[in-house]
Chain A
């Protein structure tokens, strides 16, 4: 029998390759499907010659930006989910657990209530998210040893506060503003346009996390264990907290609070064997991205011409998929 060491480098390579292929396929599917059916040749024509006819407008102005926005958003959320789970050392952590989405939602809902334009809604959401990030950090990290528990409790309590404010705003609003508020709260990509900034934040977030990947492996074993292995834990946590916060805030301003991606994508990959962060981090980016692209494609096609908020679809697909993988992982562990 050949020795099975080093374990899994080849397996991990296959996994990442498969995820990259999945990303490409999901983007192609997203561009290829929609309420207007385009044949393969029409599609190819439209992609190659953006000359302003109807099909090239559909492809270049609607489908491609939306698919890219979904990919960016899913990637950001999944990366942020990985970080939050390690930072809080809690498998239930997701990008929103520290109140970032709550803060963003309150900002956005206030803007909607005041009847602000879409651009201002995004700015207000970003301001709300950043305020929440600093508030939680200020409350939790005042002492030198900001433990994961303290951070988690502070974040959860602040989230609850935002939740109450959201309910006040919802109950006191008129019927037609409530509709757009609900779309914001559930996560919706129909108005999303990716910019260079979003891409830049995704790439720099990825680079920062990859540079800390081995330290993340140590940190997931505990603060003290990591420190004993020479990791500067206080500095690492600071880097992790603010990069996850920035990535989450960016994702929220693009699409509202799309749930489930940040929670389940990291777990799916861990259950598929990618526990080492050097694989888990890029893997999460690709799986999170393609997961949201596919969910959004379904969201805009299954009840076409009507559109569902993508956040509903992520849960609808994610729950059964996650349960199947969890069950399989459990069987492997016990056998």
Chain B
């Protein structure tokens, strides 16, 4: 491995432009102002392409590529917000039909290009990953050599380094040693960190400001990681749970670790001023209780209450990254039917049959030899293709019952069918006894969205790092002033990475306070100073 040995004795990596220690420019022909952003350190990516690895490295280390990737990612991210993502359209809708129906040809394009599930598509994630790689590689490529250079720098600099700074000057004084001591004192009074070397003084301030950009990079990486973690199982979850009043159900996606109970869902309406207008809901709320299941086996419960909360819109129940949001509701679902067993002719009631629609009994004994057997129960009655009675769903939207009524006079029983919401004349119309609906009890059902977003703290941390990095690089600046004796004269040079105007004023103040007879007007090679 070839290295570059400077005349000061320091061994630099190949590709170094300015000696890490004394700053001597290795390119002797050029006489212009030195490019100091990376302190003339050897950047891998500045090497000519040699191997395949170098080629890939240089591609990702390129600022153009990095900025390009980020810009493309941002623009593409915007496309995903034009129409709702697939998770926000009705779950039963076919996206290839839904989008064109809703949004016409644009919707067709949208769904054809896969924008309806963009944020988890392979190409979007590839884009995020490429941006991430570019940030990591370019940070390593520049950050490490820059750090090395700043760490290895010595106080006394090579005269050509001094000469080729943007701010530099040379003047002959009577007593160089006294002048240097004076400069050191003044720099100290200007709150510079002063280092002295062999007939040389360097004042340095706020070196950490150079790392601001890298803190921003780190923040971006953390942010990308947070976004990518969402696609791993367990980090992000969107589930839905329906709970009837009084019911306790396992929380989906938690492997039965948590159970949630609704102690009642309610809608409150605004008081109405005029009687015509529709009722306007004021508040939806669920009295919820969260339990932890201590039983280790599925199907078994050993619940321990951990939290109680009234869930309202925008006021979810939260526990260890799980959040339950009020999202939907269903009012007045049938929960219980009360029938009166009635003698058809006399209208006399024999007794009441209370049927829990979610857990009906198979027979109801009314005493005195009267018994009602529930022969068949269809919570959501329909006739299937073969004209056989079936249930469409387990929810009692349209309950149908077949009863056998056993009376003291008729121990074999008579059969009758009762359908709600449909007045089919049941085969039991000519029966002696009929079951007449006496009372119906209703339940409310609450729909809760269950979400986990474990990557959120990571995302916030990333944003905080970005902010910190921006503050570091905006509000502070790295400043260095070198003053040294060279061949009986005093040389001065100064460098900062931004905000030259205020820095020049500081250099002028140094000159004024030390009384160095330097011509301030010729100090800055780029912009001659005004009087």
Partners in one complex: no
The chain A residues found within 8 Å of chain B, CB to CB, are none
